[in-house]
């Protein structure tokens, strides 16, 4: 496949998909998008850490060949003002796996969000956000070590689908008239109207991916998070469809919470994953009071947005929260925070969100030794109170370092491992 501005490395192999599985050689080509704002600081720092960990883990036998791709402000400068070039979408599909820094959504450019557009264009239907505590990281919880959950957030439906009609517009008036006259609905005049689509197809493929993750990673439970007690035909249907896919496609390895107590007296049998469900608002309380009871969470778009950010605050905040947006095979890993333009170019911020997203990426391509080295180095460095400014203001006696200084400390710890 030929590209106008994307330059593929001269060496390396593109990841292939065979029988639904990734085929990754020892010399894969991975795409990266630098990102806007602080992307100029955190992406080079992470590259240094990732490459050092690869070298340490495999002694030169494995190497990533990086291909730079373009979205956001950097793309606009290259593609004549186009923040969202089609070539980049083609390149991500061609490479299968990529990672990106934070992106700015241009005002008045026709995009609700570059990130949302990316997810919808590539049908990256699952936003995956692991949340766990690392030794030494400041936390508001008494027992942050109990938090170790992975959130699967449906990415393409719910209120994020963009089906909104502004108050006063002709489209709004037409829809409001139909709802009142044809459907018997009753709501205030001049209300903005949004439509919340939740489908069996979208719900089942999200829950299917969550259950398969639980199987592949020896997780003990999958909890369906919903507000089905109120929104019975959308969020309630998500719950119903989630249980259906568990029973119909994973019945040999899953049991419901009711079955756990009725058949097994509450003692989980070996090799079985418990499928639970919880009301969304209660889930926030439970993840504060009894987080150890929950493992993998599967939920819809808006609930997942709230939950993933809230849970990140329990274990150190968005500055270290990793994430990915995935289709069946194509995956784009990302920093989960914003561009923080007031800090751009200052070599100041914590690069760990993007760095740990890279750890997710290496696990995804079957290189777990890389992520293990990075996580161990992170705990060692933070344990020595060598941290960026965000943690330094919370840790007494901290040695505050720059973005690049933190990366250098991690590389040093990796090399000494």
Binding residues for Mg(2+): 305
> Which residues, in sequence order, are CB contacts of 411 under 8 Å at separation 6+?
48, 49, 52
CB 62 within 8 A of CB 27: yes
Q: Could you tell me the CA-to-CA distances from 210 to 154, 269, 277, 353 in Å, in that order?
A: 10, 20, 13, 22
> Which residues, in sequence order, are CB contacts of 394 under 8 Å at separation 6+?
138
Q: Which residue carries 């796996």 as its tokens?
A: 97
Q: Could you tell me the CA-to-CA distances from 356 to 64, 154, 199, 318, 323 in Å, in that order?
A: 17, 21, 32, 11, 8
Could you tell me the end-to-end alpha-carbon distance of the chain, in angstroms, rounded to an integer?
41
Helix/strand/coil for 327: coil
**Residues facing residue 323 across a β-bridge:** 334
Helix/strand/coil for 325: strand
Instruction: Enumerate the known binding-site residues for D-threo-isocitrate.
Output: 113, 115, 119, 129, 153
Instruction: Enumerate the known binding-site residues for NADP(+).
Output: 104, 337-343, 350, 389, 393
Tell me how many helices (H) and strands (E) the chain has.
14, 17
Q: Which residue in 214, 204, 105 sits closest to 149, CA to CA? A: 214
Tell me the pairing of strands 399-400 and 386-387: parallel
- How far is 53 from 416, CA to CA, in rounded Å? 11
Q: Could you tell me the CA-to-CA distances from 64 to 181, 274, 362, 367, 416 in Å, in that order?
A: 60, 38, 10, 11, 21
CB 401 within 8 A of CB 409: yes
CB 82 within 8 A of CB 388: no
- How far is 54 from 31, CA to CA, in rounded Å? 16
Q: Is the sign of the CA dihedral 232, 236, 238, 242 positive or negative?
A: negative
Q: Catalytic residue numbers?
A: 160, 227, 281, 305
| Gyration radius of the chain's alpha carbons | 22
Instruction: Enumerate the known binding-site residues.
Output: 104, 113, 115, 119, 129, 153, 305, 337-343, 350, 389, 393
Q: Is 136 left (phi over 0), alpha (psi -120 to 50) or beta?
A: left
């Amino acid at each position: 496949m030929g590209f106008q501005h994307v330059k593929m490395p001269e060496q390396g192999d593109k990841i292939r998909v065979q029988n639904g599985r990734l085929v990754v050689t020892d010399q894969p080509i991975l795409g990266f998008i630098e990102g806007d704002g602080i992307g100029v600081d955190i992406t080079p720092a992470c590259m240094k850490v990732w490459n050092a960990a690869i070298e340490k883990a495999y002694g030169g036998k494995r190497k990533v060949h990086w291909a730079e791709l373009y979205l956001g402000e950097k793309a606009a400068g290259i593609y004549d003002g186009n923040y969202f070039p089609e070539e980049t979408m083609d390149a991500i599909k061609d490479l299968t796996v990529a990672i990106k820094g934070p992106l700015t959504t241009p005002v008045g450019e026709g995009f609700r969000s570059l990130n949302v557009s990316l997810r919808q264009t590539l049908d990256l239907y699952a936003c995956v956000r692991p949340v766990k505590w690392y030794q030494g990281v400041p936390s508001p919880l008494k027992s942050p070590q109990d938090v170790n959950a992975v959130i699967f957030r449906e990415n393409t439906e719910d209120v994020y689908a963009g089906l909104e009609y502004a108050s006063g517009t002709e489209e709004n008036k037409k829809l409001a008239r139909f709802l009142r006259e044809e459907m018997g609905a009753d709501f205030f005049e001049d209300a903005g109207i949004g439509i919340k689509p939740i489908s069996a197809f979208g719900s089942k493929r999200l829950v299917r991916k969550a259950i398969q993750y639980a199987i592949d990673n020896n997780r003990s439970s999958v909890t369906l998070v919903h507000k089905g007690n109120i929104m019975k035909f959308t969020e309630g249907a998500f719950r119903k469809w989630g249980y259906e896919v568990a029973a119909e496609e994973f019945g040999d390895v899953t049991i419901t919470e009711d079955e756990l107590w009725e058949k097994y007296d509450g003692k989980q049998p070996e090799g079985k994953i418990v499928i639970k469900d919880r009301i969304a608002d209660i889930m926030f309380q439970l993840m504060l009071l009894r987080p150890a009871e929950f493992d993998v969470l599967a939920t819809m778009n808006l609930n997942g947005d709230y939950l993933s950010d809230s849970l990140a605050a329990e274990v150190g905040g968005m500055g270290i929260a990793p994430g990915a947006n995935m289709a069946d095979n194509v995956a784009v890993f990302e920093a989960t925070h914003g561009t923080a333009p007031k800090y751009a170019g200052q070599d100041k911020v914590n690069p760990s969100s993007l760095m740990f997203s890279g750890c997710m990426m290496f696990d995804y391509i079957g290189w777990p030794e890389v992520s293990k080295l990075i996580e161990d180095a992170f705990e060692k460095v933070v344990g020595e109170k060598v941290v960026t400014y965000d943690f330094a203001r919370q840790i007494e006696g901290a040695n505050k370092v720059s973005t690049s200084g933190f990366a250098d400390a991690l590389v040093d710890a990796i090399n000494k491992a």
